Copies of this chain bind each other. A is one copy, B any other.
Amino acid sequence: MQVTSMVEDPELVQRRRKEIVAAAAELFSKQGFYRTTIKEIASLAGISSGLVYQYVREKDDLLLLVILEVVDAYAREIPPALAGIDDPIERLVATVDAYCRVVDKRRAATVLAYRSTKSLSPDRRRFIQRRELETNQMISAAIADCIRSRLVRKINVDVLTYQIVLIAHGWALKSWYLKTRLSIEQYIRDSLDILLGGILTPSGRRRYAARKSRRK
């Protein structure tokens, strides 16, 4: 599970790993995991191919480290964005905003995570998924808060949480289209407008309510 290194000096291990993982992230994002060779990674990191294996046991380790980087960035960068915000709605908005911005900063890596999580060993995949759930937990908490204060009605928290996660990830996954039409600011604004403003007009609401009672 843990990735082990042959080198003793922990400071050196940290520095070198950072360089290697950065190089790996760049190449994996651009070319994909399987099309990237250790030689390429090493040369981009400015070291020899053999040295990589002093800091990592196998190529798969690099994939784990790269994906972990992304997932941790989410967990690391969202909380500070909420600091000092009390109103539940404001917190929810800030969460969505922060999540989208973290993803925006790491679009390529986010897409990589989607492409490659399945290439991890089952153990490691589960490990990443657990981390992902921890991030989602922050979103769920913000939603639950809103419900507790009666600002949001009792919708399915899991489903809304994933809608938000997917809105954020969607900015990376579909950036080939979205980026040609919107800035991240507009995307966040319009997404929140749909989510919080609701989409129906008063007459739409009447129609929808009628439909619902008909279905009963």
- Give residues in A with beta carbon < 8 Å to B: 32, 34-35, 87, 89-90, 93, 111, 114-116, 118-119, 129, 133, 146, 150-153, 155-156, 158-160, 162-163, 165-167, 169-170, 173-174, 176-178, 181-182, 186-187, 190-191, 193-201, 203-204, 207-208, 211
Contacts and interface: CB of A to CB of B under 8 A. Distances in A.
B170 A166 contact: yes
Contacts of A201: 150-153
Given A89-B208, A156-B193, A158-B181, A199 B198 contact: yes
A109 B35 CA distance: 22
Nearest to A31: B118
B199 A199 contact: no
B199 A160 contact: yes
Contacts of A155: 190, 193-194, 197, 199
